[in-house]
C-alpha cells in the first residue's frame, strides 16, 4: 500500500511534468512524445497506476476485512448457540 501512495505519484509527476508543453495556449501532457501510440500508452499506464491499481488493492483489502469479520461473527454466533 505504501508503494502505491509514494512511488506512483513520483512516477506520474516525472512523466507528466517533464513531457508537458503549451499547445495553442493550453497545457497538454505527453506532447514531447511525437508518436500518438506512445502518448496513449503512457496515458493508459498513468490511469492504471494512479486509479486502477489502488482501486484493486482497496477492493482486495476490504474483501479480506469483510471475510475476517464474517468469520468472527460466525464464531461468536456459534459460541452463543452452544451455551
Q: How is residue 63 annotated by DSSP?
A: H
pLDDT at 3 exceeding the cut of 70: yes
- Number of independent structural domains in the chain: 1
State the sign of the Cα–Cα–Cα–Cα dihedral 54, 59, 60, 62. Answer: positive
User: Where is pLDDT greater, at 66 or 42?
Assistant: 66
pLDDT at 17 exceeding the cut of 80: no
At 66, list the grid cell: 469483510
Query: Does the predicted model carry a pTM greater than 0.85?
Result: no
Q: Do 29 and 13 form a contact (C-beta atoms < 8 A)?
A: no
pLDDT at 31 exceeding the cut of 80: no
At 47-58, the pLDDT tens digits run 888 888 889 999
pLDDT at 71 exceeding the cut of 80: yes
Burial class (CB in 10 A: 0-12, 13-18, 19+), 46: middle
**Segments forming the whole domain that contains residue 63:** 2-82
Amino acid at each position: 500500500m505504501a508503494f502505491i501512495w509514494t512511488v506512483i505519484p513520483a512516477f506520474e509527476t516525472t512523466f507528466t511534468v517533464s513531457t508537458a508543453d503549451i499547445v495553442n495556449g493550453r497545457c497538454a501532457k505527453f506532447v514531447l512524445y511525437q508518436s500518438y501510440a506512445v502518448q496513449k500508452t503512457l496515458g493508459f499506464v498513468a490511469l492504471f497506476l494512479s486509479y486502477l491499481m489502488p482501486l484493486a488493492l482497496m477492493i482486495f483489502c476490504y474483501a479480506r476485512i469483510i471475510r475476517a469479520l464474517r468469520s468472527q461473527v460466525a464464531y461468536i454466533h456459534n459460541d452463543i448457540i452452544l451455551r
